[in-house]
Structures are given as structure tokens and as C-alpha cells.
Structure 1
Amino acid sequence: MEVESAAELQGRRPPPWRRTVAVQAAVCLALYAAFSLGEPQLRPRLGGDALGVGGGGGLSFLSVAGGARPPADQARLLRQMESTAKVYEVKLVLDVARFGDDPLWQNGSLHFQALNIPWYSTTSHGQIVSNFLKKVKMPYDQILEIVGVDTGPLEDLLHDGKMSNSSREQITWLEQTLALTSNNWKIVVGYDPLVDCNVARTTKTTKIYEPLRHIFEKYAVNAYVSTGGSCGHFHHDNSMSYIQNPIPGDQTNLDGFFMHRVSPLEMETLLINLDGEVVQRSVVHQHGREAM
């Protein structure tokens, strides 16, 4: 039986520094895989740079159009929203729904309970009008103020131009609420779109419903979030941004949700489809300069 000396064994072993490097490399690869598995693959469909979200100094929230969807589509939507909410530390979800028994609201708000992320909706529950004012603290002592308006009582005003008692009450509530807000970020959310675009030949005319436009300008509202309309998903009017969630089953055949990230100087909005692709992106600056 041959017995190898300690010197011979030492000569056959790899140098200690090689083992150390190999172990460190394996640990790095394991950590990279762990983080990659937990992050949603938000990728631009149309190319472009890496996403600007995820950095420090901002506050994130989601908005999504309510309504009925096939069970498989609703499950995909909620999974993608959940993954995005975990990675980007989303603080709340706005369910832009028309009716109080909205199926997405019923399933989504329950689905997000484990994440401790509240859902807010501006819908009528019988004869009860659902308005709300939500204030969220931001970095640098700023405040994001979200005003939810049930646009059901405003439908006569929006469609026929008639000011009913219920319309007048809603307009009064909105103006009084905005008058008490700060000079930081202000976002109004409601179901009905307030921008109407008509294209005749090569001319595009845009109509923004009054007196809401005047109220938004008077109180320096930064954005109005609603469901889809005829002006696409983003429309800018001076310092005001109209953001319109895709409605499942409409002519665009697109379903998804918005992720909004608000920082002291700008608000970035990403339209994300069911595959996690960023379909469109919009940035609105605090003083009215915007880029898409």
C-alpha cells in the first residue's frame, strides 16, 4: 500500500486562493438567480432604455380599469400587478370601475390583503356616492393627494351638457375638496374620460369637458386618471395630463394596468400589458413639461 506524503498531497490540491474565488463566484451566481426570480420582467416592447422606475426618491401606485374579464385573463392581470407591487413597493391600487359590485374589485382587493396594499374605487353603491380624498406622504416632506370622484352623477353633464342637482353636488364637492389641498402633487381619478377626440380627414379636434377643465386649471391638478377614451392612453393639455386605462374588450384589444411613480419633480407612468411588457410610457414634470 502506497502512502502519499503531506508534501505530495499538498502539491496535488488546487491553491487556496482558487477555491476562495470559486466559492465567491458560486455565491454571487446564487444571489443573482434569487433576485432575478423574484422580479417581474418589465421590458419595453418598442425598445429603448432600461426603466426609470425602481430608483429611490419616489412613491409608486397602480391604477387599473375594472370590469369583467375571462378568469384566465383576470388571474394573469392580478399576478402581474402583484409582482410589480412587490418589487416597486406600491402603496395603493386605484380600481377605476363603474359599478360597486365590480368583479375585479372583489377579487383584487382580497388578493392584495396579504400584501397590505389597499384598493380604492370611485363607484356608486346603490344610492351612496363614493368620493374620497387620500393623502400619501412622499420624500422631502411632500404629499401626494388623490381625489376620487364618482362620475356616475356627472354623466348627464358629460354626455348631454345638462347640469342636474346630483351633477352640481359633485362639482361643488370636487371644488371644495381641491381648495383644501396643498401645492404638491394632485391627482383626480374617475371612471368616465373627460377628453373627447374626433379625427376628420387630417384634422384632430379635442374637447375637454367643462366646468371640470376650469376647476383642474384653477387648483393646479396634475393628472386625471380614468378609463379609456378616444384620445389614446395619454393626452396632455398644458400642465394637465389625462391618463386613460385600457378597457378589456375595447377596439384596441389591449388589457393591462398603469404603474405610476411620483417623485418631487416628475410623475412617470408605464402602461404594462398582461405579458409584463411596457407598451407606452409618459413623464409629466411638475411645471408642465412632458415627454412621451
Structure 2
Amino acid sequence: MKEKSWICTLIVQLSLCIAVYTALNTGHNLLIHEGRPPIDMHFLTVAGGFRPLQKQTLLLQQMATVAKTFKARFVVDISEVGGSDPLLRNATSHLALKSMPWYTTGASEGQEKTYFLKKIKIAYGQTLDIIALDTVLFQDPSSSCGKDQIQWLTRTLKESDSDWRVVIGFHQLISCDYNFWKVKEEAPFEPLHKILLEHGVDAYMSMKICDGHIHGQAKESNDAGLMDKGPYLTSMDQNLVIKDEAVDGFFLHRISSLEMVTFVVKLTGEVEHGAPFKQRGKAAM
């Protein structure tokens, strides 16, 4: 019985490796042979936090492969604990990930404040702003720290002359109980949502947190308190959310002069092509 169990485990692992290899090569062909110039910039977004060892190992292996293949410039890590994130700490075992900057939400080592701006030069003479927020502070915006962050964010967006603006935070902007036609904002984050719309932010990335819900439907009572494990992308428009994705895996983003395309790489190795969205920038203001 033990021998049979060992053989089954080996077969499953080999099948998973083959699936990952095939999917990543499919993703490689998909991106490379679309006729896109190699000058386009790529980066990754992942949800940090604890995972079982097997899942964490598989996730980091996939991220390292994709980062090396597409010469990704950096990783956005959505985490509550910043530099203490276990996924970030274990990424050091992969050279392709260790050599890349990781921009994390949450308290990071050596930082006085838990919110910051990274201005990144990309192709075509353009720049990308990665703006990390401490979304916990929005749950009590009347506090001195909450007010400071709102003032800093508003000032940063007003002064920015970058072509792309991507804001990251741990909490999602949109309630789990929403549909495409009627957006229901999470009450504590309604002011943040309005600021991002007003100042031409292109996208907001967060963790997908739905206690007791999956895609707007209640979970079974014994699953209450669980959350979707993956990054969550909300592209901004003046009046509604036009794109959202949640996945147990990670995102590969490609930015050109006029559009941003997000590819979803799942833990199974499956690669999905996301719909592109156009740059909003100052024209939206």
C-alpha cells in the first residue's frame, strides 16, 4: 500500500511539472509571437503570506521562470507584513527573484513610513509610478497617521508627471457583494477610490479578501473566514471598475507606450491572457 501511494505521488508530481512546463512555454509563445517589440517592460505581482511548502515552492519556481524568460524588472508583493513576508524571504533561494527589487505593502524594514513612491523609468521615455499604501490607516482616516497618508497621496498624485500610475495596497477597494453594473465600494475605502479616480490612476492592486464569500456567493459555514489567495487587479475608469481578476498564482504585466496587459499564471501552470487597458494618466483628470 505504501509503495502504491509513493508511486501515485510521483506520478502526480511529474504530471504537475509537465503541465507547468507546457503552460509556461505556451505563455512564452503567446507573448513573444504577438509581434510585440522586446522594448516593452514586464513586472510581476503576487500575493504574499503563508502557503504550504509545496505550494510556495511551486509558486516561486514559476515566478523565477517567468521573470527570467521575460526579463521582469521587479516584483510587487501584496502583503500585510512588508519585508517580513515569508514568500519574500524564501524567494532568496531563486537567483532570478533574489536579484530583482521587491516592492511590498505593509511595514518594510528600514522604512519610517508604511507608504512610499517608487518612480521607474520604462521604455519610450516614459515613467511608471508604483505607489504603495498602508490601507489599514484608511480604516481610521481621522487619526493623525491616516490624515498624513491621505495628504501625502493627494500631493504625490498632483505632483506626478509620470505616464503610468499604479497604486498597491493590502485591502481591496470594491466589496465582494458587487456586480459589473453597480459597484459597491467598501465604506472605509470610498475616499481612496475617489482620490484614485480624480487623479488619473491607471490601476489598483490588492489582496482579494472575501470573508465568507467567493465571487459574491456565501461559502459554506465551515469555510467562513477563508479568503481568496491571490492578487486582485482593478483597472480604473471614471465611474466603474472595468476589469478585475483574482487568482491563486501571480500576474505578469506588460507595459507598452499606450497599454498595459496582465497575464494570469495559475498554480497549475495555466496561463490566461487578460484584456488590455489603455493609459489614463493626466487626460483623465
Q: TM-score normalized by structure 2?
A: 0.70
Give the aligned partner of residue 133 of structure 2: 149
Counterpart Cα distance in 2 of 1:241 and 1:118 = 29
Report the CA distance between 1:223 and its aligned residue. Answer: 0.6
| Cα distance change on mapping 1:131 and 1:280 into 2, 3 Å | same
Report the secondary structure of 2:204's partner residue.
strand
| Cα distance change on mapping 1:108 and 1:143 into 2, 3 Å | same
Matches within 5 A, 1:140-179: 140-157=124-141, 163-179=142-158
| Cα distance change on mapping 1:40 and 1:283 into 2, 3 Å | same
- 1:206 pairs with 184, 193, 199, which one? 184
Give the aligned partner of residue 116 of structure 1: 99
Native 8 Å contact 1:188 1:223 kept in 2: yes
| Cα distance change on mapping 1:274 and 1:99 into 2, 3 Å | same
- 2:38 pairs with 56, 61, 66, which one? 56
Question: Sequence identity, in percent?
Answer: 34
Report the CA distance between 1:259 and its aligned residue. Answer: 0.8
Counterpart Cα distance in 1 of 2:171 and 2:97 = 30
The reply on whether 1:104 has 2:69 as its aligned counterpart is no
Report the CA distance between 1:211 and its aligned residue. Answer: 1.7
Give the aligned partner of residue 205 of structure 2: 225
Give the aligned partner of residue 93 of structure 1: 75
Give the aligned partner of residue 276 of structure 2: 283
Larger CA deviation: 91-100 vs 126-135: 126-135
Native 8 Å contact 1:268 1:284 kept in 2: yes
- 1:135 pairs with 119, 131, 149, which one? 119
| Cα distance change on mapping 1:219 and 1:187 into 2, 3 Å | same
Give the aligned partner of residue 259 of structure 2: 266
Q: Which residue identity lines up with residue 221 of structure 1 in the other structure?
A: V
Kindly indicate which of the two structures has a greater share of residues assigned to helix. Answer: 2
Report the secondary structure of 1:211's partner residue.
helix
Counterpart Cα distance in 2 of 1:41 and 1:286 = 29
Native 8 Å contact 2:106 2:134 kept in 1: yes
Counterpart Cα distance in 1 of 2:97 and 2:234 = 35
Per-residue CA distance 1:236-257 (angstroms, 9 max, x = gap): 54258687775xxxxxxx5200
Per-residue CA distance 1:146-192 (angstroms, 9 max, x = gap): 111122222335xxxxx222211111111122222114011111111
Native 8 Å contact 1:195 1:229 kept in 2: no
Counterpart Cα distance in 1 of 2:242 and 2:144 = 26
Per-residue CA distance 1:36-64 (angstroms, 9 max, x = gap): x89932459xxxx9345964231111010
**Unpaired stretches in structure 1, ≥5 consecutive residues:** 1-36, 158-162, 247-253
Give the aligned partner of residue 79 of structure 1: 61
Report the CA distance between 1:71 and its aligned residue. Answer: 0.7
Give the aligned partner of residue 69 of structure 1: 51
Report the CA distance between 1:229 and its aligned residue. Answer: 4.1
Counterpart Cα distance in 1 of 2:117 and 2:195 = 16
Q: Which residue identity lines up with residue 205 of structure 2 in the other structure?
A: V
Q: Which residue identity lines up with residue 256 of structure 1 in the other structure?
A: G
Q: Which residue identity lines up with residue 217 of structure 1 in the other structure?
A: L
Q: TM-score normalized by structure 1?
A: 0.69
Counterpart Cα distance in 2 of 1:68 and 1:53 = 38
The reply on whether 1:191 has 2:175 as its aligned counterpart is no
| Cα distance change on mapping 1:133 and 1:243 into 2, 3 Å | farther
* Larger Rg computed on CA atoms: 1
| Cα distance change on mapping 1:197 and 1:69 into 2, 3 Å | closer
Report the CA distance between 1:264 and its aligned residue. Answer: 0.7
**Unpaired stretches in structure 2, ≥5 consecutive residues:** 1-20, 216-231
